[in-house]
């Protein structure tokens, strides 16, 4: 982590799930961090833990190019980590235009700001997603497969992914792209997601709700492993076999929604509360999981936290957050 000592880093999406943990790791490693913050959320882990007071805060939105260019010009980052996005599939279905504005326009705005200041920015990590691949009959996804989302959220991530590749190949912008599976961990305040929603239900003595039929298959990546993946990509972005590349990050242990709910139930002693299955999910891909061989081979990345350990730490975070003994 001595790589980060004295480095200047600009992070979008810093108050989100991954951003909250990643910013803490950067600061602890000696980096100087500026964060783009659209909405002040006192429940965000970045705010709640006091980490935000160790950063410079830029108030603004990804949709505003002038704000992003000013951020780069004034805070002089050599590293930009782009996590900011509208991340909820259901929200994208209800409000596709706002999702496209944030995820697509926001990405090209950020990359354009970086392109205009090549003397400053030496590495850019862009958070894409397994959703960028869209639906496929062939699994697991490999990085050689095309980005071909079909529904609003998936399309927004496909577009952002392709735009990042275009900026590297056309302008030489030093971009590296991360495609993670479903990230979980303490600090996720989107309780429509299965892990935090299930934990909150069990803590309240209620049956958890599954929006799908429970058979959808996903990778589950612990948030601190995801943060480590982004940092590792940035550290290696100078290499010719890394710059401009996309990398998958997943545990190679795909699970159904019912499996993950049962795992949480076992850890919390709540198998007496079977899930309510709505079978009402819209615009969701049934099966998604990733081949992370390339990340292991090129970056030396492996998940450090097993599923049970990650869930135990996550449950403890929500138990404290929701003040349940």
Rounded-to-integer distance, Cα 245 and Cα 144, Å: 10
Catalytic residue list: 153
C-alpha count within 13 angstroms, C-beta hemisphere, residue 316: 6
Closest Cα to residue 275, out of 261, 293, 288?
A: 261
The answer to whether 22 touches 231, Cβ cutoff 8 Å, is: yes
Rounded-to-integer distance, Cα 184 and Cα 57, Å: 25
Rounded-to-integer distance, Cα 97 and Cα 94, Å: 9
E-state strands within the chain = 8-12, 32-37, 56-59, 79-82, 123-127, 175-180, 182-184, 209-210, 217-218, 220-222, 246-249, 255-256, 276-277
């Amino acid at each position: 982590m001595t790589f980060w000592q004295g480095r200047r880093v600009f992070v979008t999406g810093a108050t989100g799930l991954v951003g909250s943990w990643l910013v803490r790791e950067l600061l602890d490693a000696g980096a100087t961090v500026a964060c783009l913050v659209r909405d002040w959320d006192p429940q965000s882990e970045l705010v709640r833990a006091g980490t935000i007071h160790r950063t410079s805060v830029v108030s603004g939105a990804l949709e505003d190019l002038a704000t992003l260019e000013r951020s780069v010009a004034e805070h002089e980052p050599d590293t930009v980590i782009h996590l900011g996005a509208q991340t909820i599939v259901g929200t994208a279905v209800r409000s596709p235009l706002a999702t496209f504005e944030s995820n697509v326009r926001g990405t090209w705005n950020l990359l354009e700001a970086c392109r205009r200041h090549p003397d400053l920015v030496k590495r850019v990590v862009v958070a894409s997603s397994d959703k960028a691949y869209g639906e496929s009959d062939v699994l697991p996804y490999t990085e050689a497969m095309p980005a071909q989302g079909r529904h609003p959220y998936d399309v927004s991530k496909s577009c952002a992914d392709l735009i990042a590749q275009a900026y590297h190949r056309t302008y030489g912008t030093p971009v590296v792209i991360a495609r993670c599976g479903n990230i979980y961990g303490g600090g996720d305040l989107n309780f429509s997601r299965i892990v935090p929603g299930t934990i909150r239900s069990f803590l309240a003595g209620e049956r958890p709700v599954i929006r799908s039929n429970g058979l959808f298959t996903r990778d589950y990546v612990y948030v601190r492993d995801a943060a480590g993946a982004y940092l590792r990509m940035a550290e290696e972005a100078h290499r010719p076999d890394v710059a401009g590349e996309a990398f998958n990050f997943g545990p190679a242990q795909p699970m159904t929604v019912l499996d993950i709910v049962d795992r949480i139930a076992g850890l919390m002693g709540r198998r007496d509360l079977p899930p309510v299955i709505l079978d009402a999910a819209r615009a969701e891909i049934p099966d998604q999981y990733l081949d992370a061989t390339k990340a292991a081979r090129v970056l030396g990345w492996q998940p450090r936290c097993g599923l049970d350990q990650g869930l135990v730490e996550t449950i403890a975070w929500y138990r404290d957050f929701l003040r349940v003994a």
